[in-house]
Structure 1
Amino acid sequence: MGRRKWWVTAATAAVLGASLVAPPAIGAPPTSDEPITDPIPEDPEPAELGLVLSEYAQLPETDTTPPTDDKRLMRHNRINYIGDVPDGSGRQYVPDLNGPIYLLDDGQQHEYLDLRDHDEHFFSGRGMGSGAGFITFHPEFEKNGKFYTVHSVGEEGIAAAEPTYPNQPDSVVQSVVTEWTADDPGADTFSGTHREIFRYGFGTYTHAVQQIDFNPTAEPGDEDYGLLYMAVGDGGIGLDTDIPQDLSEPGGKIFRIDPEGDNGPNGQYGIPPSNPFVGKKDALGEIYALGMRDPHRFTWDPEGKHEMYLGHIGQRALEAVYQVEKGDNLGWAEREGRFVFDPETQCALFPFPPDDAKYGYTYPVAAYDHDPPYNWPCNEDSGHALSGGQVYRGDAHPELEGKYIFGDLVDGEVFSTETDEMRRGAGRAPITQVQLFDDDGKRMRMSDFVGDGRVDLRFGSDTEGELYLLAKANGKIWKVTDVKEAEPTEVTDAVSENLVSHYDFERPFAVDGAKENDQGSANTLLDLINGGEDMRVDDGAFPGSNNALELKQVNPGEVGNDDWKAGVWDGDANGVESLEAFNAVDGITVMGWVKMTGENPSPDPSAGDPDARYNSVGLAGVLSGESDGHDVRALLELIEVDGEMRLVALGRRLDDGESQTFAAQQDWRELLPQGEWVHLAATFDYTTGEMALYRNGEPVPGFYVQDGDPWQVDGSPTSATNPRGIKIGGSYPQNSQEKNPCNCRMDSLMFLDKAADADTIAEQYARFQGN
């Protein structure tokens, strides 16, 4: 599985192989033909504590240079860090990739410097990290006025100046590190001089120079004091080249330089003699550590041994946190986390070879995997990238002491690990998922705070060790102002054991907001049909719910195909393979919250009679294995029974058999009053033929509509076929036609591969109520 090498001589390879501090030999190919598609099977456990976030600052709206049509860059702004100016003033700095750098004084912002004004070739219009990437202040800024920035230039800028080291082939973007000297370090706006100290070009618009920073724990006289760290990505070409392992090339490394020295290649900075590869033939002395894809964010523990933690963004399978020491090799692209990486199978990894120890790679102290949804191509972005965080050592929240708080920058999940469990050479430290609350104690997700499924989350801290969260989606900064006990999970243990699919409409798919993430074992995206992300509305059926699904008939008087509904669909003979739990199953439960919001049943424009109505109102159900998008295996619905609309459970045991209906005796309008949230459940036991309905945790009296035994019950389960999908709010989730729309809202829909008993349903309803 060899990779293309470039800019490496045979002599270089010989020297590197012989040196004790050189990178290890290229790792062996996979020892097994069986890829590991789920490298970290365990999901993060819920944390015992939650963070209360208070809005701290709102930064101005900005645009890219040049303008872009990439929606990932079309954010309110692109702020990406907050830190304290090291001068005792209490001022904080915030860089915006689009150019401005702000200073905050008690949360009140003003522009300190705009890099667009100082480089005519400034570029931020393509690439997730392009633009004004970072700013950091010299530890003696109060005296010398020096600070440092990194920004991007495009192809015109590449042609205008010589790089510090030869650019990557066919470079399209270049990172420029600049030293600035302020005339007055205490001024609110910058005036002074600047000089360029480093420039290097990358072959793609990704993985350029990310963070640059000083070690804030270093003191005068320490080896690290006044040395500038630079996280240099692999330029997006580490997949098929050896550059992350090549000591003669900057890509895929962390550099450590002396900005006040002059023995670097261009005389604009120095190379510290204590760096691990100084003096090695054909090795860049600036290299502190190597073997990286996208070394996105690093930080130091303010206490203890001042360990350096790196949040490293992965390829297709996992995200990892490393504790980095001088001379480390993280293994990319021979290794992805604690696994062997093969570019031919990026969605899956391989186990280590038996002799892995001889390669000497450094492995993560914490990691989580992507688990891409079943119906999303694993070789496409599934909305995961690790946002490196901060070790909490503040005084305000002792409950957080020693926790490394980090997250996923795309979907905004926040995680926590314990630093005393993040040990090099040991197993992965357990990760917990942290709950978030607003000032009123209402539980929210970051997507709720920003109003967008793609959060673009970052972390920062101040000199007191207090924690901040930032989001590009709405350009806001929040401060952690309190810590409270986490609330119980929404789902009871009894339901969780059989929960195949669960859509609570709190989890938009970060890559495409018109899809909803599944919280059940099927991990199958739900399509929000015709209305897309507008169907996710601010409403909640129970305490803790912030969003609901809006369903409706859009044009009652016209035959069309624009009604708002939702569903999963795969019409081939194999059905939806991720729903195989419903294949030959003994029972099914369909339950969720419903609120009627309009006219039901809806007008039927295809009838040619303005007074005609559909004879059903679609709620939610699992389709049969031979369904055309309408026939079901288990359905909760309103349907006409003997000329009267009723709430029903309608099911089919055999794909080619008849259906049976269990209908509620009570008037459906009493069971589902207009404008009121009601929890409904329908259960189907295919081995006994028993069906049941529940409302707000209580059984609903009813009757069977079909005489005899339409299911042909013989003690065996349903047909041995996968369902062709799930339908919500109407038939035909493939959106081929309209039928039985629902003018309603739904919340927390659950599909179980068991006919739940009355106690299970009552307990789940009580959990929703917080009991």
Structure 2
Amino acid sequence: MYRRLSLLTATTLVLSALLVPIASAQADVPIADPLPTPGASGVGLELTEVAQLPRSQPVPPPTDTRLVRYNRINYLGEIPDGSGRMFVPDMNGKLYLLDAGVQHAFLDLGAAVGPDFHTHRGLGSGFGFAAFHPDFKRNGKFYTVHTETGSALTTKKPDLPSPADTQVHGVITEWTASDPSADVFAGTRRELLRVGFASYIHGFQEIGFNPTARRWDEDHHLLYIASGDGGIGYTTTVPQDLALPQGKILRIDPAGTNGVNGRYGVPRSNPFVREAGALGEIYAYGMRDPYRFSWDPVTRRMFMGHIGEKAVDAVYEVRKGANLGWSEREGIWEYRRGDPSCGVFPLPADDAKYGFTYPVTAFDHNRTSAQRPCADSGNALMGGFVYRGSKIPSLRGKYVYGEGVKGLLYVADEREMRAGKPMAVTRELMVYSGGRLTTMKALVGDPNRVDLRFGQDAAGELYVLAKANGKVWKVTGARTFASCHSGHDHVLGAAGARSWQPVTPDLWQFPGREVVLAQAGVARPGPRRPFEYAVLRKGPAFGSVQVDASVRLDTPVAESNRDVIVVFGHRSDTEFYYAHLSSDNRIYPHNGIFVVNNADRLRLDHQWDPARSVGAPPAVTDTAWHRVRVKHCADTGEIAVYVDGSRYPLMTAVDKTFASGRVGFGSFDNVGRLRDLHVQGKGVR
């Protein structure tokens, strides 16, 4: 009897056992690979370009090449006045409005601030964010974050405790437009809050109002502020210190006056207002770089994307008074300041007593052996949104976020994202543009750095932005990969010897319900390819095709290179595709999708990471029966491989070398068997 547990279910069970944040019996050594690489979702988002923002640059020209971008647009939102106007801040100084396809500069914040405006050093420097008051249509108020250096460091005093060696000030400003409907800002401004940070990174990040708050809710019209640790949390306990504003989520009342400078209020409902020695402004704490946050309009839960130190980036559900653990924890592991490995460790036995809040989903940095342990990993989680729009039903209830540097789009199910529960499984989304599969790197024309960001309009529809080319795309659809209709021609019950044409007939047995490769094949002259397989002669050759079968690897589990293959698009012994299903995913020829085209087999699948020499999770690790599906869409070249009934593909590829051919079964150099074969497709006669 073959195993019916899906690969997804099995993986989830394993991860659940590993990811529940409880003390572990693991050895007290750095964890080499904390999390598996996000698998394929089998879903692609269709991106439609809607805007190209103007080119800009920091002043003076930066020495850090990461700041040399087309521009530094970092968010898109909709003004809450019913006008449909969108706003986009450029960190280099300007706030743009997009109005029915027409764009213009609404505010030149950099010019208004003057020479102390700082943009040229630090990834978060410049005009960091903008947030419009929920009653902007009536009161004309909106809020901005920017950084200052220069004379500001000596002539202006931070309002909240700041380092003695402050390198930069983060400033929150309230602007009041004389005419809220105007295309260009005219009005007044006042400084709301100023905080000093110890370095040019991890300062004030996003600010915003809870869009789900009602008049009677405690956070109605309160401003949330994501305040980073100033880049020093990895060596200090600043994020854990409730007397300091760095490494926290702050919550203030812009209309209040009981703050330390009299220009804002401290809500009485904040969790630490009555705690001696604690800042009343703090809403939650224990953060390194709380870059982006958002609220799910249905569940009204707040999610925050957190950029980690050296091993893990994570998404948290942020609740009042929560301690997210940094710099004692990174993700669901222990972080040890000063450890030369810059890694993470198993939780201590007494972890529960600390009451840390752990992530609801995450990914790790997947360092290569060539990277120094403490060097910048080149990863940055970009928090996104739970999709509740109406245009893409299949996306509803999914939290869409990403990795900013490489421009990878990720998705997790909001229903699985629960604080205190095992982390939700994150999967990678594909990218389509103009109906064609592509990548964000290809769309922006930069192979090294995309600088991906997200946005959302009032209807809940999603947008993607990139600093690499200054463009904005709207997510206009979602499609399932390899979703073509296979056709109406079928082949079933093909288990007899007359239905098959083996390369070496003496190695095969056909006892009735099964097709058995009883002896391993040997290498043959010609290109490197599977040693032994049999081609299905029953029925026609197929164009688009779906192959369903149960397979079993009979080679003992003790051998690491165990495999069977499913052949499709077979035209000759040196022209065909095959899906390699193996217990090993660490070398190039194993566990992937390949093409043989009169040359050595070439790997095609998207899951192979050549830098780390690792591919998709092993397809088969035992000697039980496993259900396998291979789908090939001839028109698009899309190929997907599924295992054990999972609705998520284990491997995906795109190739148009062969538009038709026969199917088959075999192994590279092992033994195994097949049964319950069902081939459906478009016959080519």
What CA deviation, in whole Å up to 9, does each residue of 1:500-538 have, x standing for no partner? Answer: 45699xxxxxxxxxxxx9954764489xxxxxxxxxxxx
- Is the 1:234–1:294 Cα contact (8 Å) retained in structure 2? yes
Aligned to 2:220: 225
Say which structure, 1 or 2, has more relative contact order (CA 8 Å, 6+ apart). 2
For residue 306 of structure 2, what is the amino acid of its counterpart? H
Aligned to 1:133, the other structure's residue is in SS state: strand
Aligned to 2:67, the other structure's residue is in SS state: coil
Aligned to 2:141: 146
Aligned to 1:49: 43
Aligned to 1:448, the other structure's residue is in SS state: helix
Aligned to 1:617: none
Alpha-carbon offset, residue 124 of structure 1: 0.7
For residue 39 of structure 1, what is the amino acid of its counterpart? P
Aligned to 1:107: 101
**Residues 384 and 487 (structure 1 numbering): CA distance in 2 closer, same or farther, change over 3 Å?**
farther
Aligned to 2:409: 414
For residue 325 of structure 1, what is the amino acid of its counterpart? R
**Matching of residue 484 in structure 1 with residue 479 in structure 2:** yes
Aligned to 1:298: 293
**Matching of residue 182 in structure 1 with residue 177 in structure 2:** yes
Q: How does 1:142-221 map to 2 (within 5 A)?
A: 142-221=137-216
Structure 2 counterpart of 1:389, from 373, 384, 389: 384
Aligned to 2:307: 313
CA distance in 1, matches of 2:354, 2:446: 43
**Matching of residue 339 in structure 1 with residue 425 in structure 2:** no
CA distance in 2, matches of 1:289, 1:593: 45
CA distance in 1, matches of 2:578, 2:442: 24
For residue 151 of structure 1, what is the amino acid of its counterpart? H
Alpha-carbon offset, residue 424 of structure 1: 1.2
**Matching of residue 87 in structure 1 with residue 81 in structure 2:** yes
Alpha-carbon offset, residue 754 of structure 1: 6.3
- Is the 1:373–1:525 Cα contact (8 Å) retained in structure 2? no
Alpha-carbon offset, residue 403 of structure 1: 0.4
Structure 2 counterpart of 1:247, from 231, 235, 242: 242
Aligned to 2:10: none
Aligned to 2:364: 369
For residue 96 of structure 2, what is the amino acid of its counterpart? Y
Aligned to 1:72, the other structure's residue is in SS state: helix
Aligned to 2:69: 75
For residue 54 of structure 2, what is the amino acid of its counterpart? P
**Residues 324 and 754 (structure 1 numbering): CA distance in 2 closer, same or farther, change over 3 Å?**
same
- Is the 1:66–1:123 Cα contact (8 Å) retained in structure 2? no
Aligned to 1:494: 580
**Bigger Cα displacement from structure 2, 258-267 vs 101-110:** 101-110
Alpha-carbon offset, residue 156 of structure 1: 2.6
CA distance in 1, matches of 2:42, 2:55: 36
CA distance in 1, matches of 2:428, 2:587: 20
**Matching of residue 262 in structure 1 with residue 348 in structure 2:** no
For residue 439 of structure 2, what is the amino acid of its counterpart? R
CA distance in 1, matches of 2:100, 2:582: 45
Aligned to 2:538: none
**Residues 465 and 350 (structure 1 numbering): CA distance in 2 closer, same or farther, change over 3 Å?**
same
**Residues 83 and 518 (structure 1 numbering): CA distance in 2 closer, same or farther, change over 3 Å?**
closer
TM-score, normalised with respect to structure 2: 0.70
Alpha-carbon offset, residue 167 of structure 1: 2.3
Alpha-carbon offset, residue 33 of structure 1: 3.2
Aligned to 1:348: 343
Alpha-carbon offset, residue 543 of structure 1: 5.6
For residue 168 of structure 2, what is the amino acid of its counterpart? V
Q: How does 1:557-572 map to 2 (within 5 A)?
A: none
**Residues 445 and 495 (structure 1 numbering): CA distance in 2 closer, same or farther, change over 3 Å?**
farther
**Matching of residue 276 in structure 1 with residue 271 in structure 2:** yes
Alpha-carbon offset, residue 89 of structure 1: 0.4
Structure 1 counterpart of 2:375, from 365, 369, 380: 380
Alpha-carbon offset, residue 185 of structure 1: 0.3
What CA deviation, in whole Å up to 9, does each residue of 1:587-624 have, x standing for no partner? Answer: xxxxx999xxxxxxxxxxxxxxxxxxxxxxxxxxxxxx
- Is the 1:316–1:346 Cα contact (8 Å) retained in structure 2? no
Gaps of 5+ in 1: 1-26, 505-516, 527-541, 546-591, 595-676, 680-695, 699-752, 761-766
Aligned to 1:445: 439
**Residues 496 and 448 (structure 1 numbering): CA distance in 2 closer, same or farther, change over 3 Å?**
farther
Aligned to 2:458: 463
Gaps of 5+ in 2: 1-21, 484-545, 547-567, 569-576, 593-604, 615-634, 639-652, 675-680
**Bigger Cα displacement from structure 2, 471-480 vs 113-122:** 113-122
Q: How does 1:22-33 map to 2 (within 5 A)?
A: 32-33=27-28
CA distance in 1, matches of 2:277, 2:409: 42
What CA deviation, in whole Å up to 9, does each residue of 1:295-330 have, x standing for no partner? Answer: 0000000112x0000000001101100001000000
CA distance in 1, matches of 2:374, 2:607: 21
- Is the 2:295–2:302 Cα contact (8 Å) retained in structure 1? yes
CA distance in 1, matches of 2:654, 2:134: 56
CA distance in 2, matches of 1:331, 1:266: 30
- Is the 1:365–1:422 Cα contact (8 Å) retained in structure 2? yes
For residue 294 of structure 2, what is the amino acid of its counterpart? T
Aligned to 1:433: 428
CA distance in 2, matches of 1:31, 1:353: 10
**Residues 155 and 346 (structure 1 numbering): CA distance in 2 closer, same or farther, change over 3 Å?**
farther
**Residues 415 and 335 (structure 1 numbering): CA distance in 2 closer, same or farther, change over 3 Å?**
same
**Residues 200 and 340 (structure 1 numbering): CA distance in 2 closer, same or farther, change over 3 Å?**
same
Aligned to 2:345, the other structure's residue is in SS state: coil
For residue 229 of structure 1, what is the amino acid of its counterpart? Y
- Is the 2:587–2:613 Cα contact (8 Å) retained in structure 1? no
What CA deviation, in whole Å up to 9, does each residue of 1:135-169 have, x standing for no partner? Answer: 00111111111100000112432222111123223
Alpha-carbon offset, residue 337 of structure 1: 0.8
What CA deviation, in whole Å up to 9, does each residue of 1:255-284 have, x standing for no partner? Answer: 000001000001110000000000211100
- Is the 1:374–1:522 Cα contact (8 Å) retained in structure 2? no
**Residues 180 and 756 (structure 1 numbering): CA distance in 2 closer, same or farther, change over 3 Å?**
farther
Alpha-carbon offset, residue 47 of structure 1: 1.0
Aligned to 2:152, the other structure's residue is in SS state: helix
CA distance in 2, matches of 1:51, 1:37: 32
- Is the 2:343–2:373 Cα contact (8 Å) retained in structure 1? no
**Residues 187 and 67 (structure 1 numbering): CA distance in 2 closer, same or farther, change over 3 Å?**
same
CA distance in 2, matches of 1:69, 1:502: 39
- Is the 2:142–2:175 Cα contact (8 Å) retained in structure 1? yes
For residue 270 of structure 2, what is the amino acid of its counterpart? N
Aligned to 2:317: 323
Question: What's the C-alpha RMSD, in Å, of the aligned pairs?
Answer: 3.4
Alpha-carbon offset, residue 173 of structure 1: 1.3
- Is the 1:98–1:124 Cα contact (8 Å) retained in structure 2? yes
Q: Percent identity?
A: 49
What CA deviation, in whole Å up to 9, does each residue of 1:648-697 have, x standing for no partner? Answer: xxxxxxxxxxxxxxxxxxxxxxxxxxxxx989xxxxxxxxxxxxxxxx99
CA distance in 1, matches of 2:669, 2:430: 31
Q: How does 1:347-746 map to 2 (within 5 A)?
A: 347-439=342-434, 441-453=435-447, 454-487=449-482, 493-494=579-580, 500=586, 520=608, 523-524=611-612
**Residues 79 and 502 (structure 1 numbering): CA distance in 2 closer, same or farther, change over 3 Å?**
farther
- Is the 1:502–1:519 Cα contact (8 Å) retained in structure 2? no
Runs ≥4 residues deviating over 3 A: 27-33, 487-493, 495-504, 517-526, 542-545, 753-757
Aligned to 1:212, the other structure's residue is in SS state: strand
- Is the 1:386–1:409 Cα contact (8 Å) retained in structure 2? yes
